[in-house]
Amino acid sequence: MIFNGIQLYFEQPKENTGIYYEEGCDNFKFIIHELFLYVIGIFLKHDRFETVNYLIAEPYYVSDNKTIHNPNPTKPFSTFAQYTKFLKDRNSRLKLGKKSLRASILEENSKGPGIEFRYVIQADLVLFLRDNISELHDFWLRWYPYTMHSVMTYNSAPFETFVRCSSSKYFEKAKIILGVKSKAELGRFLEHLEAGSNSSDHPDSVGRSARYFLNFENIATRP
């Protein structure tokens, strides 16, 4: 798999005997997170739902300095959502006042690769939801949908994939990306998410807004 072993860049080399800086590999963490979002976003745009499911359902081999002592050296896709201290420090040091500097940089960078930022945001929401639905999630490393702040600030429409899910036939193909078998199962999950949206496990505003951006009420309402 294309992202297997890429976690090697999340920490300084073992032979590095110099001073350790917590943010020493933050640039790699940011880039890998960004690349994963682009990959998922592009496949969603082109209705490659089976491919999306494969990329987020399969565990990833972790090639790092601890692997030799780890009997199960695999991680879920949320391992690509590593915390980056340098962004918090930069936002504070330059007094940028950004709610999410990561989201702002992702949005600016998206003007080059040729994929609209809305597909990146849609991918971010899908990954957040799938991480919470999945039984394989890592309690200590969760997927936080940083880019969702960009759409919740404005009067944004539901995401394209889920608008198209108003067709029952289309929803049957697309539901695999969320890891649910039916609209009813998705509804129960959303209720659970909304009930816990004030806990530390869920970003409050995203938990309460997911139903709208998924266009849930209109899912599978026509053939």
Those residues with Cβ within 8 angstroms of residue 191's Cβ, 6 or more apart along the chain or in another chain: none
- Give the pLDDT confidence score for residue 21 in this predicted structure: 47
- Give the pLDDT confidence score for residue 208 in this predicted structure: 78
Those residues with Cβ within 8 angstroms of residue 205's Cβ, 6 or more apart along the chain or in another chain: 148, 149, 152
Longest dimension (CA), the chain: 63
Read off the pTM.
Answer: 0.84
Those residues with Cβ within 8 angstroms of residue 41's Cβ, 6 or more apart along the chain or in another chain: 115, 119, 120, 122, 123
Q: Domain boundaries in the chain?
A: 6-218
Q: Are 158 and 212 in contact (CB under 8 A)?
A: yes
- Give the pLDDT confidence score for residue 200 in this predicted structure: 43
Mean pLDDT in order along the chain per 10 residues (223 residues) = 61 51 71 94 97 93 60 82 81 77 87 85 96 74 86 79 98 97 96 72 68 96 97
